[in-house]
Structure 1
């Protein structure tokens, strides 16, 4: 019982001063307020909207007051004081009740009671006071001035004027009576999409906002809201895995109208583009650059035509054997394909040359080592040296075949030339005179000379030149060769007509030009005489050109039509 009494405890609550100069935030006076705009986001092609938050720069005067808080304190009896009080009380009670007068007894009993109570009232605090979370402000003790910046979340009634300019052009303009929800939003995508920018470096644009008697000026690069896309402007352009013209690095062909996102403008010749999740390359001359936002609703599909390996086209396989091996046969194949600006690449020209070589070997018995294939000629001397070298290999019984493919040009109103292929950064050599080629061939001894030419002069032939005049021009150049027996020239088109690819917008694609395709088709059908080959060319080339391109392409034959690959 004594131990229970000694271990008993109690609690009591009290108010404690927490801060004698606390700031009462609910008791204030606004001394000054200034509203302004602040940029809230970064622009990007995915989010081409500039957001400006309305903020307030406000000065307040707050009242300082004494802040008190209520806490609870635990107490416990002091055993020593309790024992001492009880001992004193026992002594007083004993003295009061052991004799003496009644007045003295009453006094001693009272003293004993007080001594006993004092032992229990002298309590010891246990631990720290515990706050209960109850606070209150008391009397004011002073004032304090503070300045704060806050976001305005409600509608702002102050008017604002927005002007977006690109150079001297106004892209977007708006006058607002109020700013909803305290945020001014400036949409930029539509206005800049309408500009249809095509420059490699589109520069910057300016935004000016008038608000609360202040003018805000922001400048951003166009590429912060728009992305560059390349729209293919040629029938096909090669998608490559590196920025080098190489037949082994082509992944696919992109068709005209395809739009593909540009990652980097590598240099004047190449764009690095995104094809799926990989980065590849296209030649800049085959595409027009356009800047637009990511979310613009346009037909941005990419139509890719897979590369078709040689041998998968109908005339590239099932080649018949038309005669035995012919050791005394020689061939020169010239194909220029990889032209640079201002000429477009002449697609599939090298493949045309390979097709001719395949038929010479497989169908007509030529030895592969006797077929000389020159590609992308940069200087006429390359051809002249090869013809001079062949002069030591031929004799009066030799069969000589030549194929020429590329762009041509009429120079000085009377000279037909084959355009050379000049590498980037190098000075262009003179183009290759067809008259000089024909005269050198005419000087070679041979029993048969069969020349097939698929040269496109169309961009340089004046419109005033009639078809008969064009034919006469070609005859004048070839006469030194074709006027002699045993020589014939097959030409795929009139000089003023383009030499078309066997390709349609609907997807039909033979991967060759029309003329060499039907030369191969004639041999595939075992037509070995020049007259029968010419019959097939006359019936099919013009018809196919009109069917696929709605344009004429009329083949010509000059020289000895009696020749045959299989007749002596």
Structure 2
């Protein structure tokens, strides 16, 4: 038993130990103790600083590139590792040792043991117990002592070392800048200023402003002493896109959708707005007075400018003008005494129509309503407005015309979007409304005329202001534009045959646009040209239809050509001797 005690005491003292050894840590280590061999040395021009829209300067510097060859060797480091026994083997070994010692020194296992057997069992038990503790495994990470050695050579490595030329002021270079193979700029004998050559790419803006896009790239070639450096620089790295507004008035909105409720501001033709993102297929997100707003892509053309100039870009903003401050909105004359049998009706599909937004159309409606109430002395119960919303048709206005008889004057104002469609073999004017579900609702203009003549008023004054658009379901082409007057004539005759004591006035021909009255000289009248001069004629007491039509003919087309450089010819049909004041 004394032997067993000694063996266990020895094993406990040897439970753990440490040892050190050399480990290979790097197969190909650079031997920096050896002087490298210089195999090549040359001077090159490198880009030191890339341009940005806020700082459109690209910098080139002259560098000396040296190629050095270093020998590679196997690197070894000394480590210290801690070990502990494998306790599974220890348990198995101690069990075996105890069994051998118990058999040698007692009669529990073997009843009789000779002296030689006893000696062999004691030796075996001691060896088994000792070996179970000597079978160890490493524990933890090896501890590096910091000692290292470079052993045998394992290869070579070529290292490039670049050093900027500290004094390059006596060096001159040639530069060539091209875009799609076309020369934009070239200059010879450019001098390096101390250590670099700086080129302000914003100077290329006049050449790139209208021809570049977000994928455009310019090529820059710098030549010096037989060497050259060619780099490609995307245009959007040094110029920023701006939208140059080409329409007379454009709405800025707080969301990318056309609605009357999300207008933030109005800007005019010539305004420059920095484009932040192309939000959708139809909208840009732009910067306006430190905020981000949305504008329709069709509002203008994209130009590329240096962002550093954005602070000085022009924005023609129209201040909000309350109704009543435009000249035709105030100081109205009273043209006739009140007649309770008179009626006025607005029919429109221009509100929330996905085909587009007609600028200032609601103000036009308000102006019409104002003249009916003030100049023609109608009460609020005599004026009605029907708005197409997809659930009710424009032709359902019989309730609004109750009270109209053969002593009444009926004044109707039709506005909105329309197209020309071929129906039953002939072309007709069809008012179209596209709802939020992209479902198109259509109303023939002749159906509206049918409902009007059924009221049988004494006199009918009909003013039609439509924006004709091309659609997959309609046709507005050159043939329609040239023959638009015949379509209007045929449509008007549908009503005049039933109600001869009528006058029908169209604001424009099919294919022409009904423009708004705004310009750099005239200012923003905030009405359509037709509506403005219609009101001006009444304000000047041109109540007889021949006089009113003459006033419109003298002003509408002239103003449209002067402001928008396009025709807008009014078309009138019917009895021009009628007087809207009932005289």
Query: When the two structures are superposed, what TM-score results if normalisation uses the length of structure 1?
Result: 0.64
SS of match in other structure, 1:382:
coil
Q: Quote the residue 2:535 is aligned against.
A: 520
Q: 1: distance between equivalents of 2:386 and 2:446?
A: 18
Which structure 2 segments of 5+ residues have no match? 1-34, 69-158
Matches within 5 A, 1:4-153: 33=41, 35-56=43-64, 150-153=163-166
> 2:306 matched to which residue of 1?
293
CA contact under 8 A between 2:217 and 2:234: conserved in structure 1? yes
TM-superposed CA distance for 1:450, in Å, is: 1.9
**Shift in alpha-carbon separation, 1:363–1:337, aligned structure 2, 3 A:** same
Larger Rg: 1
Distance 1:507 1:418, change over 3 A: farther
Task: Find the counterpart in structure 1 of residue 153 from structure 2.
Answer: none
Task: Name which of 549, 557, 565 aligns with 2:572.
Answer: 557
- Which residue is 1:487 aligned to? 502
TM-score, structure 2 normalization: 0.62
CA separation of 1:200 and 1:400: change in aligned 2, threshold 3 A:
farther
Distance 1:519 1:542 in 2: 13
Matches for 1:266-415 after TM superposition, within 5 Å: 266-294=279-307, 300-321=313-334, 322-324=336-338, 326=340, 329-334=343-348, 336=350, 346-368=358-380, 371-374=383-386, 377=388, 382-384=393-395, 386-390=396-400, 399-406=409-416, 408-412=418-422, 415=427
Pick aligned residue for 1:255 from 268, 280, 292? 268
The Cα of 1:228 is off from its aligned counterpart by 0.7
CA distance, structure 2, for counterparts of residue 194 and residue 479 of structure 1: 56
Secondary structure of the residue aligned to 1:420 is: strand
Tell me by how many angstroms 1:531 deviates.
4.8
Deviation per CA, 1:364-417, whole angstroms, max 9, x where unpaired? 343435544355x57696312x33554667555554321123454444495242
Alignment partner of 1:474 is 2:488 = yes
Other structure's SS at 2:432 match: coil
Deviation at 1:287, TM superposition (A): 1.2
Q: CA deviation at 1:506?
A: 1.5
Distance change (3 Å), C-alpha of 1:318 and 1:268: same
Shift of 1:284: 1.6
Q: CA RMSD in A?
A: 4.6
Given that residues 346 and 365 in structure 2 are in contact (C-alpha distance below 8 angstroms), is that contact kept between their aligned partners in structure 1? Answer: no
Q: Is 1:417 the counterpart of 2:429 in the alignment?
A: yes
1:217/1:423 CA distance change after superposition, 3 Å: farther
Answer whether contact 1:408 1:418 (CA < 8 A) is retained: yes
Mark the CA change 1:547 to 1:30 in structure 2 (over 3 Å): closer, same or farther: closer
User: Could you tell me which residue of structure 1 aligns to residue 3 of structure 2?
Assistant: none
Q: State the alpha-carbon separation in 2 of the partners of residues 272 and 220 from structure 1.
A: 25
How many angstroms does 1:237 deviate by? Answer: 1.2
Whether the 8 Å contact between 2:175 and 2:190 is mirrored in structure 1 is no
Q: Cα offset for 1:172?
A: 6.0
Quote the Cα distance in structure 2 between the aligned partners of 1:506 and 1:326. Answer: 42
Change (3 A) 1:267 1:556: closer
Question: Which ranges of structure 1 fall in alignment gaps of 5 or more residues?
Answer: 1-27, 61-145
Q: Confirm or deny: 8 A CA contact 1:380 1:431 kept in the other structure.
A: no
Return the alpha-carbon distance in structure 2 between the equivalents of residues 178 and 362 of structure 1.
77
Deviation (angstroms), 1:560: 3.5
> d(CA) in 2 for partners of 1:149 and 1:547?
65
Per-residue CA deviations over 1:169-222 (Å, capped at 9, x if unaligned) read: 666677879866342445533446523356763355566768899986755543
Match of 1:196 in 2: 209
Provide the rounded CA distance (Å) in 2 between the counterparts of 1:303 and 1:185. Answer: 36
Give the equivalent residue in structure 1 for 2:122: none
Q: CA deviation at 1:438?
A: 1.6
Mapped partners of 2:525, 2:542: distance in 1? 21
For residues 67 and 347 of structure 2, the distance between their equivalents in structure 1, rounded to whole angstroms, comes to 88
Partner of 2:247: 234
3-state SS of 2:323 partner: coil
